[in-house]
Amino acid sequence: MSNQTPAHVAVIGGGILGTSTAAHLARAGAQVTLVTAGKLADGASGRSIAWLNSSGDRSAAYHYLRLIAIDRYRTWAARHPESGAYLRFDGALKWAGPDESFRETFAFERAGGYDAIWIDRAQVPSYAPDVNPDAVADEGAIYNPGEGWVNLPDMIAALAAEARANGATIVEDAGDARVDVQDGTVAGVILGDGSRLAADRVVLATGPGVPAQLAELGVTVPDASPAAFVLFTDPVPELNVRTVLNTPRVAVRPTPDGRLVLDAGWAEESIVVGDDGSITVPDESVQGLLDEASKVLAGAPVLTASRVGAGWKPIPGDGDPVAGAVPGIDGLFTLFTHSGATLGLILGELMAEQVLTGTPSPVLASFQIDRFSSDAQPKQVGTDAWAPVPQR
């Protein structure tokens, strides 16, 4: 970090990206105020499968970003032993659906040096005793020992506590906060009640709300955010689920209190979005997820629903993160990305560094907003891309 005099920075957004940025800014000695519309972690971060991984089809730059992102979680785990309750690296298991194969996916992962092991059904109990081997594809499955999960509300609470300990102010229930821009320069934040918070730099990290808020300022960021939901089960005391599962019909990860978090692409597609923007999750989709999860878990446990977390899943138009300064508005920065769970710590760190030094990290060169301008060069994805696996 630079030794220059810390700026007064306002961060809008109480999810993993906003809270991580605020914590890193405060750690560096900046005067920081984080404002969020409601409570911390009550948006997309509170309804994430939160699988820590770099599986999937992406550029080399994005893969590298995700690898160092996972590294930061390992550092956090080493420095915060208590985080073992909400941050785990117990591996992940994935397999292909009917008429599909993950052999090419495995070859791509190994070619890039990614930690991956091909296992057959007979080996499943040795790697993932919580999984029903009969549910695994005939060809076998990929086990990734270095992957894991994080329970974001707990992670966000820990980051917020650190930020406060380093002098940051956190304002919850701030209402519909927006960036205050005067003559092309950031002046601070306008809170939901109309009051103003002065700041000379602002970081906008409101998840799926970012594109609309930037559009109001005349800045276009393509948006592909869909309506989505995750399902939280009631506690399942007889299970000891540790492995993250990414299966053809359901994704599964445990929570610190013995519940499971479930989601699936087909269930997401069943959501009904009303003309008023309301989101309705069909009962049959909830039950379907419970049934599918039971099938892939050892002992076929009876699962019941505790609650549904529904809302908009932040995804930029081209699928890649948006991270950096907002062109045309001096002092404004933004973070908007899918896989916020995986990227949360590293993007907060690199954004704080850029805000305080004025110099963007080369790691984020591919993820600037100006790539969407009409004269920007199209992104090239060559043989370093990874085979398709759903991203979370």
| Domains along the sequence of the chain with CATH | 1-88+149-225+313-392 (3.50.50.60), 92-145+226-312 (3.30.9.10)
What sign does the dihedral 168-70-249-319 (CA atoms) show?
Answer: positive
Is the predicted pLDDT of residue 380 greater than 90, yes or no? no
Residue 5: the pLDDT is 57
Is the separation of the CB atoms in 19 and 163 below 8 Å?
A: yes
Residue 38 has pLDDT above 80, yes or no: yes
Q: What SS3 class is residue 359? A: coil
**What confidence score (pLDDT) does residue 379 get?**
40
Residues in the chain: 392
Angstrom CA distances, 109 to 119, 141, 155, stand at: 14, 13, 28
Give the C-alpha separation, 91 to 133, whole Å.
16
Query: C-alpha angle with apex 56: 252 to 240, nearest 5 degrees?
Result: 20
Amino acid at 341: A
Provide, rounded to the nearest whole percent, the portion of the chain with pLDDT above 90: 91
Q: Is 59 helix (H, G, I), strand (E, B) or coil?
A: coil
pLDDT in the model for residue 6? 57
Q: What is the DSSP string of 76-108?
A: HHHH-GGGGGTEE---EEE---TT---HHHHHH
Closest CA to 261 of 234, 224, 279, 298: 234
380 vs 153, residue with greater confidence: 153
Calculate mean pLDDT across residues 172-181. 97
In the prediction, which pLDDT does 226 show? Answer: 97
2 pLDDT higher than 70: no
**How many angstroms from the chain centroid is the CA of residue 296?**
24
Residues 48, 343 contacting (CB under 8 angstroms): no
Segment (H or E) for 263: strand 260-263
Q: Indicate the pLDDT class of residue 386, thresholds 50, 70 and 90.
A: very low
* Predicted confidence (pLDDT) at residue 63 exceeds the cutoff of 80: yes
At position 354, the amino acid (one-letter code) is Q
- Output the average pLDDT for the chain: 93
Higher-pLDDT residue of 57 and 198 is 198
* pLDDT mean over 155-163: 98
222-266: per-residue pLDDT in tens? 999 999 999 999 999 888 899 999 999 999 999 999 999 999 999
**Assessment of whether the complete model's pTM goes beyond 0.85:** yes
Radius of gyration of the chain (CA): 21
